[in-house]
Amino acid sequence: MCCRRRCAPHGDSHTATIRTSWNPSDSWRHLESWMPHWQKRLQQPFDAVFCLQEVDELWASKLHAHFQRRGWHFAYAMTPLTYFPPIGVALAFPGDLELEELLMVRPAAQLKLAPPRTPSTRWERFKAVDFSSFFQDLSRFREGAAWTLAARKQNRLLAAKLKVKSLGCSFVVATYHMPCLFDEPLQRQAKAIHAALVRDALMLHFPEAMGERLGAEWREKSLVLAGDFNTKPEDSELQVLTEGKLSESDVAWPPAFSDQGLDFAEWPKAEAALQLQAAGWKAWGKYGDREAGSLQLRSAYAQRGGEPEYTNYAWIEESPAPFRATLDYIFTAAAVEVVDVHRPPLVPQGDPVFPTAEQPSDHVLLAADLSL
């Protein structure tokens, strides 16, 4: 994502989401092909913040040097992986924006699942076997499967509170790469949990971004969240992230994990809500009945004519046809005005899938001009 802002009252910001290849063998070649996109934005009289997805270690080192030479700051939050090389998300912003706060956090770290107690000796283990409870144990496993899967995904949330020095006003920009979980109810439930965790992390660490009371009124603040959320516009778990709402009858609703005291209907935890209330911020409600005044996010593209036809066009392993769908978004709080958005190039179905020489990533660049 990239935010650009004019140094004038009600100036413009520019925001874009960029998906990068993590393949270390050709990362720098792909970076060079992105340069025309970046240089065009770097030369305009705006303040900018870039958000990048799936940045591997080689990308991070090259990009850090690239932005540093131009007087920019670069922050990188890596997500450790076991099967694939480690990748992460990154932010880059110009030196004339003052960094007030920087957040690197694993939202799933809140899910501290207690390991089941196991007998210490072979005889104790044999005595502990209760064959009559076999099917009950299977039920418990299914009950906690979504929470266990969500806890295994240690994706990083990277966020920065930035101040426009000439105006004295601040805004929060954040980026997140949702775990790659699709279609099946269990995987969608795990994504709903991550959506709730990301949302609550932003509200807890940047409560001022939610808004402030002005007498009996509530004034929203400036917050932008961009990234690859691996979720289609029609998927209900996206509403958890944007509005904090989900029906308990929805297929993406995670069943309660009673053994661990985890109940999605009671999320977020009471102590987190109390911290916000003690600080004077509007209280949270349950996910089935979220208070209207809490954080509300809207897609920048949806506000300017609708979501792109696609943001990802690629082959999926063992798939008979290319995958083509919208998975990437730029979300804004109510106080952020969307002036314009950049439409991805039209690619007729059947054209060569990405990456290509002209489009060096399987995800297209998203951009929006914003007024803060």
Residue 12 pLDDT: 38
User: Apex CA 54: angle with CA 50 and CA 60, to 5°?
Assistant: 65
Q: Name the DSSP letter for residue 264.
A: G
Mean pLDDT per 10-residue interval, the chain, length 372 residues: 42 37 42 57 66 91 93 92 81 92 93 64 55 46 84 94 87 95 93 93 79 52 92 95 92 91 74 52 47 74 95 85 93 90 82 83 89 82
With both helix axes pointing from N to C terminus, report the angle between 185-205 and 134-152 in degrees, rounded to the nearest 10.
50
pLDDT at 265: 85
Phi, psi of 66 (to 5 degrees): -60, -50
Q: How many residues does the chain have?
A: 372
Q: Which CATH class is domain 12-371?
A: alpha beta
Q: What is the pTM of this model?
A: 0.82
pLDDT of the residue at 248: 92
Domain ranges of the chain: 12-371
With beta carbons less than 8 A apart as the criterion, state whether 275 and 269 touch.
Answer: no
Percentage helix, strand, coil for the chain under 3-state DSSP, each rounded to 5: 30, 25, 45
CA distances from 258 to 113, 255, 302, 363 (A): 11, 9, 38, 39
* pLDDT (0 to 100) of residue 162: 93
